[in-house]
């Protein structure tokens, strides 16, 4: 017997898009962690590292952190059916994963009726886009890879990606 696909929450009975009504849900502590990987061609990675992760546009990591936090806070303005949330915390961490890759992690938390997965994913994505923008003069061969949800807690069920 085939399993039925889960019902999409942002579509009503007549198959029209809608925002989900979360008013009946109890507020709970909700967190989400997302990551994005930025991979540089070897020559660009060497130039970036030798410059202390700075370019003519400024400090790459610090600027990407600020951009990621700003984006997470404004997710509802970018994603049509996201609820506006008063985020209680948003941390963007960026580290060199190896000689050619930066790992960006965005962790977001709120006490509310809906999760913050989209905020974490948006923060990680915009931080990665900011890294690209600030380093594209080194190479247009930079690739943003593997933007994904790592973990979420709160709400109906928790989630943790396999690493």
C-alpha 116/C-alpha 93 separation (Å) is 17
C-alpha 16/C-alpha 38 separation (Å) is 36
Cα pseudo-dihedral 7, 18, 115, 112, rounded to 10: -130
Indicate if 21 belongs to the active site. no
Angle at 127 (CA atoms; ends 33, 96), nearest 5 degrees: 80
Query: Which residue is listed with tokens 């913050």?
Result: 116
Residues 21, 89, 133, 158: which is the catalytic one? 133
Give the CA distances from residue 4 to residues 68, 79, 121, in Å, rounded to whole numbers and listed in that order: 37, 27, 27
CB distance 76 to 116 below 8 Å: no
C-alpha 121/C-alpha 93 separation (Å) is 13
Q: Which residues are the active-site residues?
A: 133
């Amino acid at each position: 017997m085939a399993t039925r696909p889960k019902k999409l929450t942002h579509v009503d009975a007549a198959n029209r898009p809608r925002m989900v009504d979360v008013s009946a849900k109890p507020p709970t502590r909700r967190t989400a962690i997302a990551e994005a990987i930025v991979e540089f061609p070897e020559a660009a990675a060497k130039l970036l590292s030798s410059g202390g992760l700075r370019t003519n546009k400024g400090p790459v990591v610090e600027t990407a952190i600020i951009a990621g936090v700003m984006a997470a806070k404004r997710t509802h303005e970018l994603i049509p059916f996201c609820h506006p949330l008063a985020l209680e915390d948003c941390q963007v961490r960026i580290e060199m994963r190896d000689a050619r890759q930066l790992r960006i992690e965005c962790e977001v938390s709120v006490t509310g009726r809906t999760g913050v997965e989209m905020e974490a994913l948006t923060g990680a994505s915009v931080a990665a886009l900011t890294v690209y923008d600030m380093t594209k003069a080194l190479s247009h061969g930079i690739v943003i890879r593997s933007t994904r949800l790592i973990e979420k807690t709160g709400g109906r069920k928790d989630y943790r990606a396999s690493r």
